[in-house]
Amino acid sequence: MSQRNLAATDPADAKVSSDSSSGDQSNSGNTSVPVSSTSSPGSVNNLALNLSSNDLEGMDSDVEKLLELLNVTEMKLDLKESIPSSELQLLLQLVRQTVLRINLNKNLAKYQLRNNIEEYATERQLLMKNLANVEKNLRILQNENEIINMKNLKLIKSLKTIKHDKVKTLKAENALLRKQIQDHSGRSPTILDALGRVASHVLQEEGE
């Protein structure tokens, strides 16, 4: 087993104790660590937030210890040296523990992905609902604006009609007054002439 094949293990994964891994998972090589759908996403988010660039590029002590043990075992195999059973048990235990951690990483990633998809779907649904409300309110405002414009046009038309009728009435009254003044001015000289003739006639009678 080479070092390159195990170097991809995520350094920020949750650790699985050797006791629980050997006691619970020793009966099956394909056993997975399920992640409950009711688990709090806060731990997953905190796991992602606590990762730094050094954590992503580095290697934790358990993986480093496993790689060292694999290298030692590989060297002994190359040299055809005998390997104590305790070392083999430790190697198997570390391999099992690392596999369980990788499986846990996968489940955590799937859990986080599912949460992200659900959050995205919820946010998208809320956004679409808000957009529909905005469009509805916009249509209402447009209808109200059209109604106001129609009322304004009717009001302007009514004012123009009232103004036209008022001007027409004032012009008619003005023409009537002008005619009355002209008629009065035309009758005034006739009356004065009649009075003058009467006065002349009276004076003539008194002189005789």
Q: What is the pLDDT of residue 14?
A: 39
- Across residues 101-125, what is the average pLDDT? 92
Q: Do the Cβ atoms of 6 and 67 come closer than 8 Å?
A: yes
Average pLDDT of span 54-64: 65
pLDDT score for 118: 94
User: With 50 as the cut, is the pLDDT of residue 34 above it?
Assistant: no
Q: What is the mean pLDDT of residues 104-119?
A: 93
For residues 136-142, give the mean pLDDT: 95
- The pLDDT tens digits for 76-103 are 777 777 878 888 888 888 888 888 888 8
pLDDT tens track for 63-76:
777 788 788 888 87
- pLDDT more than 90, % of the chain: 26
Sequence length of the chain is 208
pLDDT number for residue 37: 37
Single pTM value for the model: 0.39
DSSP code per residue over the chain: --STTTTTS-TTSPP--HHHHHHHSTT-SS------TTS-HHHHHHHHHT--HHHHHS--HHHHHHHHHHHHHHHHHHTT----HHHHHHHHHHHHHHHHHHHHHHHHHHHHHHHHHHHHHHHHHHHHHHHHHHHHHHHHHHHHHHHHHHHHHHHHHHHHHHHHHHHHHHHHHHHHHHHHHHHHHHHHHHHHHHHHHHHHHHHHHHH-
Burial label, 146 (beta-carbon count in 10 A; 0-12, 13-18, 19+): exposed
pLDDT at 191: 63
pLDDT tens digits, one per residue of 160-188:
999 888 888 888 888 888 888 777 766 65
Task: Quick: pLDDT tens for 9-25.
Answer: 443 343 433 333 444 33
